[in-house]
Amino acid sequence: LKRSFSSSSPMAGAIKNVTVIGGGLMGSGIAQIAAAAGQKVVLVETNEKLLQGANSRINESLKRVAKKQFKENPSAGESFVQETMGRISGTTNPSEGAASADLIVEAIVENMGIKQKLFATLDEAAPKHTIFASNTSSLSITEIASQCQRKDKFGGLHFFNPVPVMKLLEVVRTNDTSDETYKKMMEWGQEVGKTCITCKDTPGFVVNRLLVPQLAEAIRMLERGDASPRDIDTAMKLGAGHPMGPFELADYVGHDTTKFIIDGWHEKMPENPLFKPSELLNKMVKEGKLGVKSGEGFYSYKKK
């Protein structure tokens, strides 16, 4: 039934209907900025409770945006929140969510098999013109797309946390991504208010490819006893102009996530010394010291 949309959908034209799969930290942010830019958004989660959770997170976040943007005019702020929320609907059925999409952005769990399976299902359900994109941080877009027919309409749209605040969008082209798909992804990124950069489908794209090895080297510096985490962080903030030092950033991201990324890259490229696993990081993960979210990482976040 839903497939009947596909034949009548135009090939050309801007992206107006976006389906976001996964309403967690990243997906809810992506849904929020797309809706705030005037697009119709369908959010897909695994159950109703998670859908509701995502909705209320988006609502709270929009209220914060409205407070800043409509400081002088609170009632305009209120209508901005309501109108934006009005453009977001939810479903627990990915195929239903795909049926009306010009673009699908996937932001589910960082697992290759699960992502491939999801996209194979979406490939069956979505209209022919629908562009598929993954927000993966560390997996290969080409591999995620491998079970789909529409490899020319597949790319990466890699956002940064928190999505409504961070201005960058990495637009990832695989060897199969067509010029038209790439162009549409760039235009869409600009429309949702991001500064877009273009990159190839290589591990970590641009930002994480440079950040993760830097963090690993900072940890090796600590292990060698060259300097303390506090001094290394101060050095990178005041000497390199970074807003956060490597240890502060690692605690914020979560050490389980960083370990997962390093291990994945190391497995694929064991000869690359930049991706060598860190014993200290492994030990901290084993001890449950994951950073801000567990209350302890390189620094302590326990409430006194």
Mark whether 170 is an active-site residue: yes
Q: Which of residues 129-188 bind ligand NAI (CB under 6 A)?
A: 135-137, 159-161
Helix (H, G, I), strand (E, B) or coil at 293: helix
With vertex at residue 206, the alpha carbon angle to CA 243 and CA 250, rounded to the nearest 5 degrees, is 45
Residue among 55, 129, 135, 158 flagged as catalytic: 158
Mark whether 158 is an active-site residue: yes
For the CB of residue 86, give the shortest distance to ligand NAI in the complex, in Å. 22
Helix (H, G, I), strand (E, B) or coil at 201: coil
Q: Would you state the torsion angle of the CA atoms of residues 148, 151, 153, 154, taken in this order, to the nearest 10 degrees?
A: 80
Closest CA to 21 of 128, 83, 137, 109: 109
Compute the distance between CA of residue 41 and CA of residue 94 in angstroms, rounded to an integer.
Answer: 13
By beta-carbon proximity to ligand NAI, the closer residue of 61 and 137 is 137
For the CB of residue 299, give the shortest distance to ligand NAI in the complex, in Å. 19
Q: Which of residues 7-26 bind ligand NAI (CB under 6 A)?
A: 21-26
Mark whether 111 is an active-site residue: no
Q: Are 281 and 262 in contact (CB under 8 A)?
A: yes
Compute the distance between CA of residue 175 and CA of residue 152 in angstroms, rounded to an integer.
Answer: 9
Mark whether 137 is an active-site residue: yes
The only residue of 44, 66, 122, 172 in contact with ligand NAI, by rule CB under 6 A: 44
Q: Is 109 in the site for ligand NAI (CB under 6 A)?
A: yes
The only residue of 31, 51, 66, 118 in contact with ligand NAI, by rule CB under 6 A: 118
Closest CA to 116 of 100, 132, 92, 97: 132
For the CB of residue 45, give the shortest distance to ligand NAI in the complex, in Å. 5
Helix (H, G, I), strand (E, B) or coil at 33: helix
The only residue of 16, 89, 110, 227 in contact with ligand NAI, by rule CB under 6 A: 110
Q: How many residues bind ligand NAI (CB under 6 A)?
A: 23
Q: Which residues are annotated as a binding site?
A: 61, 68, 137
Residues labelled as active-site residues: 137, 158, 170, 208
Please report, as ranges, the residues that interact with ligand NAI according to CB under 6 A.
Answer: 21-27, 44-46, 50, 94, 107-110, 118, 135-137, 159-161
